[in-house]
Structure 1
């Protein structure tokens, strides 16, 4: 008796599932949406807007710069300004700040400093003047000061002083004028020299009235004159 053997076909190797492989389409992973708080969003928008506004202000300032005159050397009161004392700069100038523009540079050269000027500052129109330190009807008296007579405060042009008459040497104890107020003459410093080498003497040119100039010169000649600084307001 012949028997019929049923053959079971072995599955094809290509169709056999491999370890680690998933048959069929793979669904993408689900990502849960993060809840954003309204306060954080508002803060982010505010910071972004502020940054944009700040950048806009910087751009506006950079685009509106003004060429102005600057001071690059020390200039004393009453000193005549030269081109070497001044420089130029391009700055973002506030409308409230008054500064000499570059196109007016030539007009301030040759004028006098009305106040002390320091390097690095902007030059304002009110800081210069065309007026001379020696006015009409005045005379200039040169006064030599010994080292011990020179004030510790620097003498600068325009500074107000008093010329004081003191008794001559050997006449201090006459007894006739010990209680009387000394004679004085109001003056104004025009120029002060540097101390002379060896002697240390400083020569100060002082402007006085034409009527008092000869008297002050006589005091200088007799060695009976002393120079005293007045208060800033001249009193």
Structure 2
């Protein structure tokens, strides 16, 4: 009997999986990051608003002209004081209440309708402690009475009081000890008296009427 020999069936081995190159994955990551960065930049640009910027130096007391201001797009914190570009027309013709530096954003408090003191006025600065001011604070335009304690040179034990009307021109920031400098507008001849009494600490401000909130 003749035996026939058959070939053994060969089963092909599976091909190994192709691993993606680390460089390929890195490229994918960079592309994704670029897309996200572009979306973020577009969102931030969309949130920007036009505000007024000082185009050239303007010294205090000078009338502001159209050439002194420019409109810029910024994305500023809401707590940063700025003036919307739409108010350019009403800002032109106002007076610089402080030295304006080119390139800086314009703040509302840096302009005024007119410089103070005006005719028949004196501006006197007072460095006052918390107990010499109303707890609710003061703002420009408030009307106050300056309560001063006068000591009669002839009778040291006798004290008399004298209240003088004044208008708050500006209120400074408090220092670490809580002292604030308050600029007051007073009538002629009263500035020197108030300043001397304030240096001795014999003075306080009494709020009589509040300026309407803007």
TM-score relative to the length of structure 2? 0.42
Q: Which has the higher strand share?
A: 2
TM-score relative to the length of structure 1? 0.39
**Larger Cα-atom Rg:** 1
